[in-house]
Structure formats: C-alpha cells, structure tokens
Amino acid sequence: MTLKLHCFGESGNAYKAALTLELGGLDWTPVFVDFFHGATRTPEFRAINPMGEVPALETPEGVLTQSAVIQDWVAQQSGRFGFHDNDERREILRWQMFDNHKVSGVAGPLRFNMNFLPPEKRSEGANVFLAMRLRAALKVLDAHLEEAEWLALGRPTIADLGMCGYLFYPEPFAFERVQYPAIDAWLGRISALPGWKHPYDLMPGNPSDRQQGGPQ
C-alpha cells in the first residue's frame, strides 16, 4: 500500500514527515491539502485529523497525526533515522520538544504572519515578539551545533529531519543562515544526505503556484 501524506508545500511541519518518508525510502505519495483556501477547517479534513492540522499520514494501521509521531512511525518502518534504545529515544525526544516549542512552533507562525497573512491583518507587536523568541532559540541551537555534528546522536535522526522543518524556506522570517554558522553548516549536512529534496520540490503547493491559482 502506498502511504498517503496529507500536506502542502508551505508547511514545515509536513516537510518533516515528507522528508523522513523520502529519505527512509518508503513508498509514499503526497495528497495536496488546500490550506490557503480553508481545507483544514472542513468537516472532511477534521474527520482525518480532528486537530485540524497537516501533516496526516494514512497507513495500513490507521491515520497518524503530529509530525513527530509520523516521523517516529516512519523511522520504525524504514529502520532509518530512529533510536535503538530508550536513552536514544529520549535524546531524540528532547530535541523534538525543543524544536516544537521554541523553533518550529515560533518560526511557523512568524513566517505565516510575515508572508501569507493579508497585510491588514498583520500585527507588528506579535511579529516582534515571535522574532525575539525565535532568535533566542536559534542561538541555543547554534551553540549546540558548534559542538555536535547532528542534534541528538552521532548520526542523523528524526530530530534533525524535524528541526530543519522551516529552515530551508526562502521567505523572510527573522532567520538567515549566514547569521548562524553552525546551523548553516548542519543544514548543509542535511541537504547533502542522498535523496534530499527542498520542501517545494517534495510537496505540492508553493507561493508562486498560488499566485497562479493553485497547484492542480
């Protein structure tokens, strides 16, 4: 059975799942979710994921949601990028949580506000706050990566494939690789992994598509 990943190109959280599927070599296909026309708020989508978010992965065992959960399942299926014991599992989890809370959980809304929200709805106060929080977290991340080749273990794991979720996107969101040399080098190591693809090459939908009326 081909695994179906409900996703769209602009979603860094969906990218985490897509990249783990792709680099893990599983048989998967993206299903485009028209987020920018309200698809995640429809009853049809809420039946797939009551949390109203991408990504969602259809598997033979049922639907999985939350990118970290999908990554965990995919790693177990592929035997790649996962853990071998509870200590490794918790070290991966530690960085997934930091990412979710302080990096992706801030970069995602900030990038949305700065690029995809209609200008009249943008809040300067909100964006200043988010940018301040993001920079503090990236500083912690950069310091860690000065000492470590990969985030959690001595090899790439789903922690790396998660933390990078928003960091390859070209739109402005208070992050520039040149300002964080260790993050920059680590992103280079990720994009050098065999089979790596940019989010806009791995999932349907991107800003220029939308200007032309959608990807399909």
Q: Interface with a second copy by CB under 8 A: which residues? A: 50-52, 61, 64-69, 72-73, 76, 86-87, 90, 93-94, 96-98, 100-101, 104-105, 109, 113, 123-126, 128-130, 133, 140, 143-144
* Choice between 164 and 209, CB closer to a second copy: 164
Contact 152, 87 (CB under 8 A): no
Rounded CA gap, 12 and 122, in Å? 20
Nearer to a second copy, 116 or 129 (CB): 129
Q: Which is nearer to a second copy, 38 or 125 (CB)?
A: 125
Q: Give Cβ neighbours of residue 75 (< 8 Å, ≥ 6 apart).
A: 20, 24, 81, 82, 83, 157, 158
Eight-state DSSP code of residue 30:
E
- Of the two residues 67 and 206, which places its CB atom closer to a second copy in the complex? 67
DSSP at 151: S
Name residue, tokens 């490794």.
88
Q: How far is the CB of 19 from a second copy (least distance, A)?
A: 17
* 203 closest CA partner among 67, 93, 79: 67
Q: What angle do CA 73, 156, 151 make, to 5 degrees?
A: 105
- Minimum distance of a second copy from residue 59's CB (angstroms): 11
Residue given tokens 């985490």 in the structure block? 16
Nearest CB to a second copy, comparing residues 32 and 73: 73
Report, in Å, the least distance between residue 154 CB and a second copy. 17
Residue 76: CB minimum distance to a second copy, A: 7
State which residue, 126 or 149, has the beta carbon closest to a second copy.
126
CA 189, 98, 131, 122 dihedral sign is: positive
DSSP three-state, residue 176: coil
CB of 103 to a second copy, least distance (A): 11
